[in-house]
Amino acid sequence: MEKVIDTSVMVESLSRIYHRLKKEVNGQLVNDGLSMSKMKILQLITRGKTSATDIKNYMGFSSRTVVTVLDALEKDEMLQRQQSPTDRRVKHVYITEKGLDKLQFAQQTHQVILERMFAPLNELQLEKFHEICTALEVNQK
C-alpha cells in the first residue's frame, strides 16, 4: 500500500520553522533597532537605486507599512531618501554607513541562527532541500 504524504502537514511545519527563525532573529536584533524585515530592506537598498515602490514589490508589504519602516530606518540614520532628479513623485532610498554597519551585524546574527537551525541536516539533505525550494519558487512565477 502506497503512503500518501499530507502536504499541509509539511507546509505547517515549514511555517513553524520560519516563524521560529524570524522570532529568534528579531529577538537578537531588537536592541539595535532592527528586525528581519528591516534587514531585508537594507539588503535590497545596497543593490542599487531603490524606491519605496521597489521595496513594496519586493517585500509584499502595503505602501503604508513600507513608509512606516522607511521612516523608522531614516530616523535611526540607517538610510536616507533623496528626491529623484527626473521624477518628482519618486524618492530614492540609500543606505548610510550606520545602516551598512547594522546590516553587517544583522547578517552575521542571521547566519549564526540559520547554521544552528540547519545543523541537523547533512550536506545531501541540504542540497535536496535547496532543490525543492527552488522548484517550488520557479513554479510560482
Domain span at residue 83 reads 7-140
What is the pTM for the complete model shown? 0.79
Q: Number of folded domains in the chain? A: 1
Q: In angstroms, rounded to a whole number, what is the distance separating the alpha carbons of residues 70 and 76?
A: 10
> Looking at the domain assignment, is residue 38 inside a domain?
yes
How do the pLDDT tens digits run along the chain, 141 residues long?
456 678 889 899 999 999 999 999 999 988 888 999 999 999 999 988 888 899 999 999 999 999 999 999 999 999 999 888 888 888 889 999 999 999 999 999 999 999 999 999 999 999 999 999 999 888 776
> Looking at the domain assignment, is residue 31 inside a domain?
yes
> Looking at the domain assignment, is residue 109 inside a domain?
yes
Distant-in-sequence, close-in-space partners of 41: CB < 8 Å, separation ≥ 6: 55, 59, 69, 70, 73
What pLDDT is attached to residue 31? Answer: 84
> Looking at the domain assignment, is residue 46 inside a domain?
yes
User: Contact at 8 Å (CB) between 61 and 44?
Assistant: no
User: CATH number for the domain including 126?
Assistant: 1.10.10.10
